[in-house]
Amino acid sequence: MDKIQLTKEQMGQLAAGLLFGGLFIYAYLFYFWLPTAKKIEDNTKKVASIESDINKAKMQKAKYKDLEAKLASLREEKEAAQKKLPRERKLPDLLRTITTLSKKYKVDVQAITPSGSAPVEYFTRVSYILSVSGNYNDIGRFLTALGMEERIMTSENLVISYSGSEAFSSRAQFTLVAYQYNG
């Protein structure tokens, strides 16, 4: 093969071309390619980290899927328990209940006298002395309805007497005990 003979000028141009080509490749690598590759790598790591966090959150959500339903159920149970055993005295509610039941069972409430309260370990017994009159069976239904109310109440020391009048043939006096939570 024939050797290619280059002149000094051509060799200078070739060297300058190689030098500028090398400088271009160096500048491209260090100013464009490597910083962009570093950003791509950092963003890839961030995406992987975020995807990992999302997967962990999904696993926790699946693990505690019924947590909200259980919490709602527990709230309902708490509300039901507070209706049965309220934290406050709630005298207006008690009076409303007694009045409603007395009208329903045709019993005349003659007197409601607060009788005091006695704290017990987890609750307080709040006592009221009630005097009622009405038909014997109506008084019995009234007492049963009081005992079946949502709020826990008991009737104690019941005394029933015959009054002699037609409309209200019996009189009853008893202690109504309503319970209140001490928590």
Q: Kindly state whether residue 174 falls inside one of the protein's structural domains.
A: yes
Strand order across the 153-162 sheet = 108-119, 123-134, 170-181, 153-162
Model pLDDT for residues 97-108, shown as the tens digit of each residue: 888 999 999 898
Three-state secondary structure of the chain: CCCCCCCHHHHHHHHHHHHHHHHHHHHHHHHHHHHHHHHHHHHHHHHHHHHHHHHHHHHHHHHCCCHHHHHHHHHHHHHHHHHHCCCCCCHHHHHHHHHHHHHHCCCEEEEEEEEEEEECCCEEEEEEEEEEEECHHHHHHHHHHHHCCCCCEEEEEEEEEECCCCCCCEEEEEEEEEEEECC
Q: Kindly state whether residue 71 falls inside one of the protein's structural domains.
A: no
Q: Kindly state whether residue 159 falls inside one of the protein's structural domains.
A: yes
φ/ψ of residue 125, rounded to 5:
-90, 115
Do both 173 and 92 map to the same domain? yes
Do both 148 and 97 map to the same domain? yes
Q: Which residues does residue 153 pair with via DSSP β-bridges, in sequence order?
A: 178
| Whole-structure pTM value | 0.56
Do both 89 and 156 map to the same domain? yes
Model pLDDT for residues 118-139, shown as the tens digit of each residue: 888 877 888 899 999 888 888 8
Do both 122 and 51 map to the same domain? no
Residue 167 has pLDDT above 70, yes or no: no
Q: Kindly state whether residue 78 falls inside one of the protein's structural domains.
A: no
Q: Kindly state whether residue 1 falls inside one of the protein's structural domains.
A: no
Where in the sequence is the domain holding 148, given as residue range(s)? Answer: 85-181
Do both 92 and 170 map to the same domain? yes
Model pLDDT for residues 67-77, shown as the tens digit of each residue: 777 777 888 87
Do both 105 and 143 map to the same domain? yes
User: Which of 35-41's residues contact partners 24+ apart within 8 Å by CB, and which partners?
Assistant: none
Do both 44 and 120 map to the same domain? no
